Chain A
Amino acid sequence: MDLLQRFSQGDMDAFEALFQLHQREVYQWTICMVRDPAAAEDLTLETFWRIYRAHARFDPNRSFPAWARRIATNLALDYLRRSPREVGTAPAELDGRPHPVEADQVERREARGAIRRAFASLPAKLRAVAALALIEEEPYSEIAAALGVSLQAVKSREFRAVRLLRKKLLEMGIKP
């Protein structure tokens, strides 16, 4: 009997094997959307917890990664709706070492901060699509499958996200 069949019958070893095989992939997809390592870990666990509870409903002929990604996407969207509208800091700004302050650097840092604020202010659905399509450059087809919407809907959300971002950046004095 194959792994997916054993999992659907509640085999714990099969679940552990699936967890080990796919935890990284689920985490990576989740962090692309939520951009916070601690939240991405929690949401990965919550995704597998739901998968574990729903094992009896899983059809072994279906794709396990696609199912897991769909659950992870829904959880990440819920998280984005609930969480305060902030996004992670760029790694270069986290090292804490003093740097010689130059006007150009200060200006760039301010611009990055403004862009992050504008991005964080997007509604959850648009923010998720913007993160996946514009930043991570994931294919539209994969975004559509994970969100459970059409390709056209993904393109439309991306267009709306870009328009809103442009408007917010202009309000902040940044010409995108």
Chain B
Amino acid sequence: MNENQDERLRSLLRDALPPAGASAPGRDLWPRMLHRMRRPPTRVSWLDFALAGAAAAGFIAFPQLIPWVLWHC
């Protein structure tokens, strides 16, 4: 590709998609950050652990199920 073609493509791109680098967030994001940090962490219920344990036990007992499960997921 020669330099003229390269430059033309750049200018076409910049005309359609003006550079965004000088833009700033519309507001201070710190209040949203604080809100995010104060949100309680997601708790995993005992049922989730039980299901994961049962699945692991099933795969250990019947490893031939693994390809079948992978195929259907």
A interface list, Cβ under 8 A from B: 16, 19-20, 23-24, 27-28, 31-32, 35, 37, 40-41, 44-45, 48-49, 52, 87-88, 90-91, 111-113, 115-116, 119, 130-131, 134-138, 162-163, 165-166, 169, 174, 176
A52, B8: Cα distance in complex, Å: 43
Which label, helix, strand, loop or mixed, suits the secondary structure of the A interface?
helix
Partner-binding segment picked from B13-21, B45-53, B55-63 = B13-21
Contacts of A87 in B (CB 8 A): 17
User: Cβ of B17 and Cβ of A20 under 8 Å apart?
Assistant: no
Q: Is the CB of A19 within 8 A of B20?
A: no
How many CB-defined contacts (below 8 Å) exist between A and B? 100
What are 22 residue pairs bridging A and B, where the CB atoms are less than 8 Å apart in the complex? A19-B33, A20-B30, A37-B25, A41-B25, A41-B26, A44-B29, A45-B29, A48-B29, A49-B33, A88-B20, A90-B16, A91-B18, A112-B15, A113-B16, A115-B13, A115-B17, A134-B14, A136-B19, A162-B9, A165-B9, A169-B12, A176-B5
* B70 touches A (CB below 8 Å): no
Chain B residues, Cβ within 8 Å of A136: 19-21
Q: How distant is A54 from chain B, measured CB to nearest CB, in Å?
A: 14
* CB proximity of B35 to chain A, nearest CB, Å: 9
B1 CB-CB contact with A under 8 Å: yes
A37 engages B23 (CB within 8 Å): yes
Please determine whether B24 and A32 come into contact, CB atoms closer than 8 angstroms: no
The answer to whether A119 touches B32 (Cβ under 8 A) is no
The residue of chain B having its C-beta at the shortest distance from the C-beta of A25 within the complex is B24
A31 contacts B10, C-beta separation under 8 Å? no
> Quick check: B8 and A176 within 8 Å, CB to CB?
yes
Q: Is there contact, CB below 8 Å, between A115 and B12?
A: yes
Complex CA–CA separation, A109 to B32 (angstroms): 37
| B3 contacts chain A at the CB level, 8 A cutoff | no
- Chain A nearest Cβ from B27, distance in angstroms: 9
| Closest chain B CB from A74 CB (angstroms) | 18
The residue in chain B whose Cβ has the minimal distance to the Cβ of A117 is: B16
Complex interface: chain B residues within 8 A of A90 (CB):
16-18
Asked if B6 contacts A162 (CB within 8 A), the reply is: yes
Chain A residues with CB under 8 Å of B9's CB are 134, 162, 165-166, 176
